[in-house]
Structure 1
Amino acid sequence: MKNTDAIQVLLALGQETRLNIFRLIVQRGDIGLTPSQLIEKLGIPNATLSFHLKELFNAKLLLVERQSRNLIYRPNPNLIEDLSGFLLDNCCQGQSCGTPKSKKKVQCS
């Protein structure tokens, strides 16, 4: 991952509503969420949600699939993994630093 890619992702997540949307979508994993489900959970207007989903999609944080008349938004696990690797690359000057493992092991694919 390049610096510019990481900056784009971090800027997209650097807004509270977008971060809340992204966290909800990540919680659902492969199941994903529709815009109407997100509106119901967050209580934000459709136009506001649409704007923020576009920003998250443009940052490649989300995958979108059309099912019949619905759009399903899911997290992009490859980008999340790449960003984690990018942020932790060279951690502790390349030495094992004993970073704690995640308590939950979740597979999104």
Structure 2
Amino acid sequence: METKNIILALSALAQESRLAVFRLLVQAGPQGLAATKIAEALALAPSSLSFHLKELTYANLITQTREGRSLIYSANFETMNGVLGFLTENCCGGNPCTPVCIPACSNEVLPS
């Protein structure tokens, strides 16, 4: 990831409500949550939630899909892993130790 994208992602997460939304979506996994469920779970007003979802989407930390009349939001695990990889790139005395998150319901296999 480019440094400007890392800064954009970290900036988006540097706010209490957005961090809570992102963590909730990480817990929800790839199937994500409807905006109404996010608002209920975090006790956020719809207008406030809309603003925070827009910021997280702009930072490419979440994705949005439409299912019928609902908007479903999911964590973008590729971006999350890119940020984590960037932050830990030089840890462990220069030995690679890249943390990777693969949601439990994913069919991907971690490299050995």
| TM-score of the alignment, normalized to the shorter chain, above 0.5 | yes
Tell me: CA distance 1:71–1:105, structure 2 relative to 1, closer, same or farther (3 Å).
closer
Aligned to 1:48: 48
Match of 1:106 among 96, 103, 111: 103
Q: Which has the higher helix share?
A: 1
Instruction: State the secondary structure of the residue aligned to 1:31.
Output: coil
How far residue 91 of structure 1 moved from its aligned partner, in angstroms, is 1.5
Tell me: CA distance 1:59–1:105, structure 2 relative to 1, closer, same or farther (3 Å).
closer
Rounded to whole Å, the distance in 1 between the matches of 2:4 and 2:16 is 21
Give TM-score scaled by structure 1 length: 0.86
Map 1:64-75 → 2, pairs under 5 A: 64-75=64-75
Aligned to 1:18: 18
Give TM-score scaled by structure 2 length: 0.84
Aligned sequence identity (%): 42
Rounded to whole Å, the distance in 1 between the matches of 2:42 and 2:89 is 34
CA root-mean-square deviation: 2.1
How far residue 106 of structure 1 moved from its aligned partner, in angstroms, is 3.4
Q: Deviation digits for residues 18-52 of structure 1, max 9, x if unmatched?
A: 00011111100012111110111111110000000
Matched residue type, 1:106: P
